[in-house]
Chains A and B, each alone.
Chain A
């Protein structure tokens, strides 16, 4: 028995009135229960893609199905399954969070009594209950983002799409949001995430697609894609000062970042023990080490040919 994908996109094209071709025949499939990352540089077409899936943007051609339901022919049924957390804050600043959530549920046909129950549940989960009856414009940036996640969860969507939900929030709040998203995914909701923080995608997502200039240039399991990286980079903190001349080690690149830090780039197949042994022979004592770049970031930069992160 074949599983119906949570999201299936076929040959999706979008040409704006300005003549800009934002999507050039994108095809993509996301399986139910997945935690999926959609990455790409600015202007790659991510927001257009999400806009079409959520019916905010009209496609020029192609098909989109949410759990097998075509959004072109059965938009209302498809939208019932979808939750969207957009990039820009898009709730009424003059309303109270509790009312924002209740009204949103009402748009989906959730009766007022049930909406009020769910609103309390979601606001508590987002740690916003204390702000439930204050005007939304007084919320901090992180609170506004959590409110948008809570709002999307009001309709219990089977597919949740988040467009850079953690942009501009501090690490503590970001981790709180990660916890919520993991809970949501663990409860069975398929999650699609775009983010500027590639370590976020690497730690949370099982599959990913990279889009660049309106085309999918890479798509598959995170582990498979990361294994394509044949080189890893590390920064080594050295006890004392580095010698004037660094040892030559076959197959690796070494150079001094400063007098106490060594920049190391090595093939993934090589063992660190071999390198540490050679450094030790040269009188270089390694006190600590850290990954030079995020692995996904490295892959992303190589594929898109850009230094600009997602």
Chain B
């Protein structure tokens, strides 16, 4: 790896991973505890009274959604807090004055956030396997969904951080947009249970497609076609990447 841009990309990624591991108690442990509680309460205590969902035990049914939710939230949270922290602490200037092209800055931060999403995904899925009979019949689809989902929400977190002027701005989007979209994205229920209008609205929620693609990877079952799900995810990656690079080129929120 001798090309300067690849060295720079590896440097940002390494710095992000070092940060994730340095503050592991904030980055890796909370999702494990939260997911264990979800499995205990929704899966075991309440889930046993709900019965089957789409032909699976309720606990098995919610596993893909919970893992995907953890991946999405952690990817988003990693990049929004890290990039905004760099802006707030002004060490973003180290990168802005360097010869790095914009795609390296964006790529490095996204790679770090995706890796956190993967780490959390592996931890949460490992916990899920202890509580359920869920395994991974479609490993390629499972991995591809995690990577694409984490990339989309890393890019979204980056865009949020670029526009954020204070720490509150970084918290607003996850609270008022990301969490409702996640909970209404079919994590806890099958879309078949919803009335027509709610089902139609759910189909406009991008997280719904990620959860279902992931559910296909783990349970071999989905409410949507894989072609549509992956097409949409790739579309979001392209659109958000283009917007992120445009923001960096214009220096919006970064250069005066």
A→B interface (CB under 8 Å):
16, 51, 54-58, 75-77, 79-80, 82, 84, 86, 88-94, 99, 103-104, 106-112, 151
A–B complex contacts, Cβ < 8 Å, 19 sampled: A16-B256, A51-B256, A57-B256, A76-B100, A76-B101, A77-B99, A88-B90, A90-B89, A90-B91, A90-B94, A91-B94, A92-B86, A99-B15, A103-B14, A103-B15, A106-B12, A107-B8, A109-B5, A110-B7
From residue B231, how far is it (CB to closest CB) to chain A in Å? 35
Q: Is the CB of B2 within 8 A of A111?
A: yes
Give the residue of B4, B86, B96 whose beta carbon is less than 8 angstroms from that of A109. Answer: B4
With both beta carbons as reference points, the residue of chain B lying nearest to A111 in the complex is identified as B7
Q: Which residues of B contact A77 (CB under 8 A)?
A: 99
Q: Which residues of B contact A107 (CB under 8 A)?
A: 8, 11-12, 94-95, 98, 100
Q: Is the CB of A58 within 8 A of B256?
A: yes
Q: Which residues in chain B, 1-41, are within 8 Å of chain A measured between CB atoms? A: 1-5, 7-8, 10-12, 14-15, 18, 22
Number of interface residues of B (CB under 8 A): 30
Q: Which residues of A contact B8 (CB under 8 A)?
A: 106-109
Tally inter-chain residue pairs, CB-CB below 8 A: 80
Known: A106-B10, A107-B11, A109-B5. Is A90-B98 also a contact (CB below 8 A)?
A: no
Q: Is the CB of A109 within 8 A of B7?
A: yes
Q: Is the CB of B256 within 8 A of A75?
A: no
B133 at the interface (CB under 8 A from A): no
B255 at the interface (CB under 8 A from A): yes
B251 at the interface (CB under 8 A from A): yes
Q: Which residues of B contact A151 (CB under 8 A)?
A: 94
Q: Is the CB of A58 within 8 A of B98?
A: no
B93 at the interface (CB under 8 A from A): yes
Give B81-107 as 1s and 0s: 1 = Cβ < 8 Å from A's Cβ atoms.
000001001110111111111000000
With both beta carbons as reference points, the residue of chain A lying nearest to B104 in the complex is identified as A107
Bound: A161/B25 CA distance, A: 40
Known: A55-B255, A58-B255, A58-B256. Is A79-B98 also a contact (CB below 8 A)?
A: yes
Q: Which residues of B contact A104 (CB under 8 A)?
A: 94, 98
With both beta carbons as reference points, the residue of chain A lying nearest to B15 in the complex is identified as A103
Q: Is the CB of A55 within 8 A of B96?
A: yes
Bound: A122/B251 CA distance, A: 31
Q: Which residues of B contact A92 (CB under 8 A)?
A: 86, 89, 91
Bound: A57/B5 CA distance, A: 23
Bound: A8/B63 CA distance, A: 62
Tell me whether chain A's interface is mostly helix, strand or loop, or mixed. Answer: loop
With both beta carbons as reference points, the residue of chain B lying nearest to A108 in the complex is identified as B98
Most buried by B among A56, A107, A151: A107
B→A interface (CB under 8 Å):
1-5, 7-8, 10-12, 14-15, 18, 22, 86, 89-91, 93-101, 251, 255-256
A-B contacts besides A88-B90, A107-B95, A111-B1, 5 pairs, CB < 8 Å:
A56-B93, A75-B99, A76-B101, A91-B94, A109-B3
From residue B125, how far is it (CB to closest CB) to chain A in Å? 30
With both beta carbons as reference points, the residue of chain A lying nearest to B5 in the complex is identified as A109
Q: Which residues of A contact B90 (CB under 8 A)?
A: 88-90
Most buried by B among A91, A92, A109, A112: A109
From residue A113, how far is it (CB to closest CB) to chain B in Å? 11
Q: Which residues of A contact B97 (CB under 8 A)?
A: 54-56, 79, 82, 84
Bound: A175/B15 CA distance, A: 34
Q: Which residues of A contact B101 (CB under 8 A)?
A: 76
Q: Which residues of B contact A93 (CB under 8 A)?
A: 89
Bound: A115/B1 CA distance, A: 14
Most buried by A among B4, B11, B90, B96: B11
Known: A75-B99, A107-B100, A108-B98. Is A90-B93 also a contact (CB below 8 A)?
A: yes
Bound: A110/B3 CA distance, A: 9
Bound: A103/B7 CA distance, A: 10
Q: Is the CB of A80 within 8 A of B11?
A: no
Q: Is the CB of B96 within 8 A of A56?
A: yes
From residue A64, how far is it (CB to closest CB) to chain B in Å? 13
Most buried by B among A56, A90, A92, A106: A106
From residue B24, how far is it (CB to closest CB) to chain A in Å? 14
Q: Which residues of B contact A16 (CB under 8 A)?
A: 256
Q: Which residues of A contact B93 (CB under 8 A)?
A: 56, 86, 90
